[in-house]
Chain A
Amino acid sequence: AQSVTQPDIHITVSEGASLELRCNYSYGATPYLFWYVQSPGQGLQLLLKYFSGDTLVQGIKGFEAEFKRSQSSFNLRKPSVHWSDAAEYFCAVGAYSGGSNYKLTFGKGTLLTVNP
């Protein structure tokens, strides 16, 4: 079965600093990988996704992520963090199980605090 590990529960950065959120996955085949963000009072919003092709994917709000198969990682990055980026970030892997049953498996999330 697939699994996702986000080793950092809480990260604090200063506004304008760079950001990297770590994500490691376990899955036996080519994964479908996602990053979602949940701002306070909001639902989960898709930041970016990786299915195949270029291993560096660009997303919304200036985020990018790099898929590294050798490291089973899909880390999220942003060169300069804005105060509005304060939120909780979830990495997820999409996979089939039991034939045609598809679902997302999420990590525990990383809470990002941005200091002024």
Chain B
Amino acid sequence: EAGVTQFPSHSVIEKGQTVTLRCDPISGHDNLYWYRRVMGKEIKFLLHFVKESKQDESGMPNNRFLAERTGGTYSTLKVQPAELEDSGVYFCASSQYRYYMDTEAFFGQGTRLTVV
């Protein structure tokens, strides 16, 4: 069974450009999470989808970030326009059941975003 897949693995863009990160969760997983790790800091929660609905987006840093989850399958995270402080590693995770603590969350390998 395929794991959580993230595209691209690396992205280098200039300040002011737009970047779209994609996450393909494990098939059948209703829960999809985005997390981010800025260099030297902890991994921080961005948002949580249950199927196609945003359950919690309290961690989104500002309105330059837009997340979508089409038909409850894959998700995209768009940053527009990108700023230097957006650089970091973006992780996606998925889990099967509604009550997350009862099931394991599977993480992707992350997308390393560098804004220059």
A residues with a Cβ closer than 8 A to B are 4, 32, 36, 41-46, 49, 51, 90, 92, 94, 97-98, 100-109
Q: How far is the CB of A31 from chain B (nearest CB, A)?
A: 10
In the complex, per-residue mask of B92-107: 1 if CB is within 8 Å of any chain A CB, else 0: 0100000111101111
B residues with a Cβ closer than 8 A to A are 3-4, 33, 35, 40-45, 48, 55-56, 58-59, 91, 93, 99-102, 104-110
In the assembled complex, which residues on chain A have CB atoms less than 8 Å from the CB atom of B109? 41-43
Question: How far apart are the CA atoms of A92 and B40 in the complex, in Å?
Answer: 16
Q: Are B91 and A94 in contact, CB atoms less than 8 angstroms apart?
A: no
Q: Are B101 and A98 in contact, CB atoms less than 8 angstroms apart?
A: no
CB contact under 8 A between A44 and B91, given known A101-B58, A109-B42: yes
| B56 nearest in chain A by CB position | A101
Q: How far is the CB of A6 from chain B (nearest CB, A)?
A: 9
Question: How far apart are the CA atoms of A45 and B108 in the complex, in Å?
Answer: 9
CB < 8 Å neighbour of B45 from A4, A45, A105: A105
